[in-house]
Amino acid sequence: MPKFIEGEITAQGINFAIVVSRFNDFISQRLLDGALDALKRHGATDEQITVVKVPGAFEISSMAKRLALGGRFDCVICLGVVIRGATPHFEYISTQVARGVAAVAFESQVPVSFGVLTCDTIEQAIERAGTKSGNRGWDAAVSAMEMVSLLKAID
């Protein structure tokens, strides 16, 4: 029978960094609220959580890299929103943010969760930030907790 390793969803003993974009703040704040709610419901205290606000989604990955490599945090939760407009800017930004966050996780070997919404409309973003489709900030926080637990389990 194979050995199965599964992570736990707990905040105990974990130091969290959250990077959140200020652009489209009315949505990114909901994502942040969801992430904070998830962490606290799973045992985190304010002392375990550091929130860094960056200007826009493009800046998320560079800040995440600094935090991941700094040695103070067990994981980094990335939150923001990019909404399609009338120009190709959406494709450039959303692609680079996703690639950048993935690169940080790969290079640092620190769990980095992706809670950046890439939506065609404001309505889609609102749905994914705490209404009809759940809260992707909450989901990103849960993913971060589970990945920290998994890495500890395999070490």
DSSP secondary structure string for all residues of 7-41: -----TT--EEEEEE-TTHHHHHHHHHHHHHHHHH
Q: State how far the alpha carbon of 51 is from the alpha carbons of 14, 85, 97, 154, in Å.
A: 14, 28, 18, 28
129 band by pLDDT with thresholds 50, 70 and 90: very high
2 band by pLDDT with thresholds 50, 70 and 90: very high
Say what the pLDDT of residue 132 is: 75
133 band by pLDDT with thresholds 50, 70 and 90: confident
Say what the pLDDT of residue 88 is: 81
Signed CA dihedral, 78, 81, 84, 85: sign only: negative
| Rounded Cα–Cα distance for residues 122 and 126 (Å) | 6
Catalytic-labelled residue, pool 72, 89, 99, 152: 89
Contact 28, 125 (CB under 8 A): no
How confident is the model over 46-61, as a mean pLDDT?
98
User: Mean pLDDT: which of 38-52, 79-93, 124-138 is highest?
Assistant: 38-52
Contact 136, 38 (CB under 8 A): no
- At 6-30, the pLDDT tens digits run 999 999 999 999 999 999 999 999 9
Fold type of domain 16-121+133-154: Rossmann fold (3.40.50)
Q: What is the mean pLDDT of the chain?
A: 95
CA dihedral angle for residue 52, residue 13, residue 70, residue 154, rounded to 10 degrees: -120
The reply to whether 42 belongs to the active site is: no
Share of the chain above pLDDT 90, in %: 91
How confident is the model over 36-46, as a mean pLDDT?
98
Sequence ranges of the domains in the chain? 16-121+133-154
| Rounded Cα–Cα distance for residues 17 and 79 (Å) | 11
Whether 87 has a pLDDT exceeding 90, the answer reads: no
- At 91-128, the pLDDT tens digits run 899 999 999 999 999 999 999 999 999 999 999 999 89
